[in-house]
Amino acid sequence: MTYWVHILASKPGGTLYIGVTNDLVRRIYEHREELAESFTKRYGVKTLVYFEPHEMIAAALQREKNIKHWSREWKIDLIVAGNPEWRDLYDEIVR
């Protein structure tokens, strides 16, 4: 099984959300459609701007924890390194 660490944004340089899931397409769909009362719904965080796979849940959870403790600048640098235009990567994962 693959576990995914992902980052969603409200807009380029906007509010960020970091999470882990074992079903990236389903989880991002839930955020985009505001299917649950959550941080992402409250702050309009719907754009998938970064994701990375992990084979072990422990590694994914540790990576999520590490990223959450980074400074905002480091989080933005991580996004920009792989997605400088802050494109919505959702279409890439549903194909």
Q: What is the Cα–Cα distance from 95 to 63, expressed in whole angstroms?
A: 26
For 3, the token pair is: 């576990």
Q: What is the pLDDT of residues 21-70, one digit of tens each?
A: 999 999 999 999 999 888 999 999 999 999 999 999 999 999 999 999 99
Q: Could you tell me if residue 95 is inside a domain? A: no
Q: Could you tell me if residue 18 is inside a domain? A: yes
The pTM of the full predicted model, rounded to 2 decimals, is 0.95
The CATH number assigned to the domain holding 37 equals 3.40.1440.10
- Look at residue 92 and give its three-state secondary structure: helix
Q: What is the Cα–Cα distance from 54 to 12, expressed in whole angstroms?
A: 25
